[in-house]
Structure 1
Amino acid sequence: MQTSKSGLEHIKQWEQLRLKAYRPLPTDRWTIGYGNTFYKDGSPVQKGDLIKPIEAEELLKVVVSKFEYAVNRYVKVQLNQNQFDALVSLSYNVGSHNFKRSTLLKVINNNPNNYGEIEKQFMRWVRHKGKIVQGLINRRKSEVHLFKGN
């Protein structure tokens, strides 16, 4: 499966376009475009880097494809488009390694219609460096909403 146009828009909404490299928090890595910490060639974003909107869009699609691959590889049950888009959004944010090890993935592979438990598992991913972050709560609620097809 591939991320739908609305799935890409969902990611863009939460990541927000930044044309100049920034650090979300002082301890974070340099980030550019739609939340990217590296470029197509794998090189890291550096302080002072600039990107054009069209380059940010291209980079988003390249990076999203890596998370699509992870969701396609690790999810063993049939997903609908909304479910796939929600999981790509989550993976894009938390990383494919974390997604692979998550209880959320186990729950989905066991029963993709267990929405109550799936929602609980999405909502476990609301911390940054151990602290609960309201923006992550909001994003996870949005991903749950998308996963449920609402």
Structure 2
Amino acid sequence: MQKTSSAGIALIKQFEGERLTAYICPAGILTIGVGHTGADVKPGQKITVAESEALLRADLARFEKAVSAAVKVPLNQNQFDALVALAFNIGAGAFAGSTLVRLLNGKDYAGAAAQFERWNKGGGKVLPGLVARRAAEAALFRKPA
């Protein structure tokens, strides 16, 4: 199974940021560390940098597995990194059921790349941060290995 490269991790960190105290993200979800969400995140919770890194590694492993399971065509490292970054942000279920994955599995790489920009909403609203993130993910996806 492919693993996210340092460039892919840097992209995720660039857009997620790292916060050691739990907060409500723009989509209204309780979050901590580098975009970590879930039942284990509590209001007011504080973690260390080491704990944040451990959460990120566990989250990456989960989304790497999700991308590998959903995508049935060959991917270069940049494509894989871009897809992990997307899945990390939108969730494994939304990723697996997306038109992007359907197009990609049909070997329509260009059509799949054009789908990134459609995932630009949080809480039903277009968010400038997501517009920028999707543009960066799509650019990475299109970048030759």
Alignment of 1:1-150 (within 5 A): 1-25=2-26, 28-38=28-38, 43-113=39-109, 115=110, 117-149=111-143
Question: Given residue 137 of structure 2, which amino acid in structure 1 is its aligned partner?
Answer: E
Distance 1:106 1:33 in 2: 31
**Cα contact 2:113–2:141 (8 A) shared by 1:** no
SS at match of 2:37: coil
Q: TM-score, normalised by structure 1?
A: 0.90
Distance 2:124 2:31 in 1: 20
Distance 1:119 1:80 in 2: 13
State the Cα distance separating 1:120 from its structure 2 match: 2.5
Q: TM-score, normalised by structure 2?
A: 0.93
State the Cα distance separating 1:30 from its structure 2 match: 1.6
Question: Given residue 129 of structure 2, which amino acid in structure 1 is its aligned partner?
Answer: G
| Amino-acid identity (%) | 43
CA RMSD in angstroms comes to: 1.4
* Structure 2 gap ranges (5+): none
Q: Higher RCO, 1 or 2 (CA under 8 Å, sep at least 6)? A: 2
Equivalent pairs, count: 143
Q: Which runs of 4+ in 1 moved over 6 A?
A: none
